[in-house]
Amino acid sequence: MSMITERSVQRRSPGVAEPAPREEARRDRMAVLRGYLALTKPAIVELLLVTTVPTMMLAAGGWPDLVTFFAVLVGGALAGGAASALNCYIDRDIDVLMKRTKRRPLPTHQITPRAVLIFGLTLAVVSVVLMALLTNWLATALTAFSIFYYDVVYTLWLKRRTPANTFWGGVCGAAPVVIGWAAVTGSIAPMGWALFAVVFFWQMPHFYALAIKYKDDYARAGVPMLPVVRSVARVNFEIVLYTVLTVASSLIAWPLGRDLGLGWIYGAAAVLTGGLFLGESIRLVYQTRNGGMVKPMRLFQLSITYLTLLFMAIAVDALI
């Protein structure tokens, strides 16, 4: 891999020693390593694993066997990192135009596009091979499909062509749930699809809130996110609609998972956190309708808390 690290040239005051060449080289290597880590978008990978691991525990009726657990944990992290790195490679032309993304490794020329492409493809191959060796054909096929769907179908095609990009892109965001279920059982039960629905519908209010915050960024880059190309009323409607569908899916999952050990802890979490999530969605809609100060990132942050607590409740119920 070839890589470039840009460093600003600064004049030093008299008497201040220049860093040793070896120290400079070490700093350069560390900066590049941090750049590669940033390409994988660790926060997104972490959130994917937050939904995958409890799903595996529920499917297994407790802790899954260590080999399967290791394969999905590591393979899933690598697959998520691969998809994110390839996404950065494809979107490098628009990332440089947006304030939110212009400090990523490619817009800052910290790493070359060729190196990023090789890095992303390598992670993708390793993740699929690991899943193939240690899980089953269904989990492996879903892993390969999710990488392909996110980078080719969503990033290359849908993202720049339709305001429905977030909806259709939600497929790959929810895929880790069914991958985890398939890795444990070799199939996907109705309960697995119910949890898939929770994560799928959750992504609309979650990401629309972010798109409202960075509406000008997306407009500048020519990306037709819903808040850019549709009315405020339409965006408000979809935020509330998909929040309701998220909470409804979580409640439908409760009776479906009773025989698997899903009990009152999950039920209480689904009701309480779902109520808070819906309330925050309605609050955002009320603000936009009445000309108040709009704070979409409150909904964005709360949506992450909602999903984390909901799936933590699944893990607890699976263990007791």
Q: Is 296 part of a structural domain of the chain?
A: yes
Same structural domain for residues 41 and 168?
yes
User: What's the CA gap between 105 and 89, in Å, rounded?
Assistant: 10
Domain final residue, candidates 171, 187, 203: 187
HEC letters along 122-159: HHHHHHHHHHHHHCCHHHHHHHHHHHHHHHHHHHHHHC
Structural domain of 207: 189-319
What is residue 29's predicted lDDT score, i.e. its pLDDT?
Answer: 80
Both 174 and 270 in a single domain? no
User: What is the pLDDT at residue 7?
Assistant: 39
pLDDT of amino acid 1: 45
| Contact present, 73 and 49 (Cβ < 8 Å) | yes
Judgement on whether residues 90 and 196 belong to the same structural domain of the protein: no
Domain annotation covers residue 26: no
pLDDT digits (tens, 9 = 90+) for 147-187: 999 999 999 999 999 999 999 999 999 999 999 999 999 99
Same domain, 45 and 101: yes
Q: Which amino acid is at 316?
A: V
Question: How far apart are the C-alpha atoms of 303 and 49, rounded to whole Å?
Answer: 16
Q: What pLDDT shows up at residue 21?
A: 65
73 in a structural domain: yes
The residue type of 270 is A
DSSP notation for 67-104: HHHHHHHHHHHHHHHHHHHHHHHHTHHHHTT-TTTTTS
pTM exceeding 0.95:
no
CATH number assigned to the domain comprising residue 182: 1.10.357.140
Is 309 within a domain?
Answer: yes
Quick check: 54 and 312 in contact, CB under 8 A? yes
| Domain shared by 42 and 178, yes or no | yes
My answer on whether 157 and 206 are in the same domain is no
- For residues 224 and 159, state if they share a domain: no
What pLDDT was estimated at residue 303?
97
Helices 66-90 and 42-60 pack at an angle, to 10 degrees, of 150
- Domain assignment of residue 257, yes or no: yes
Domain contains 142: yes
Same structural domain, 161 and 197? no
The pLDDT value recorded for residue 31 is 83
Total domains in the fold of the chain: 2
The position carrying tokens 């909806």 is: 167
User: Is 153 found in the same domain as 43?
Assistant: yes
**Domain termination residue (choose one: 133, 157, 187):** 187
What is the C-alpha to C-alpha distance for residues 121 and 124, in angstroms, rounded to an integer?
Answer: 5
Q: Residues 198, 181: one domain?
A: no
d(CA 64, CA 202): 26
The mean pLDDT values, 10 residues at a time, for the chain of 320 residues are 39 51 71 91 91 96 94 96 97 93 92 96 97 97 97 95 94 96 96 97 96 94 94 95 98 94 94 97 89 86 96 95
- Any idea what the CATH number is for the domain that residue 218 is in? 1.20.120
Q: Which of 187, 204, 227 is the last residue of a domain?
A: 187
Residues 174 and 195 in one domain: no
Domain-located, residue 17 = no
- 177 located within any domain: yes
Query: Is the same domain home to 162 and 72?
Result: yes
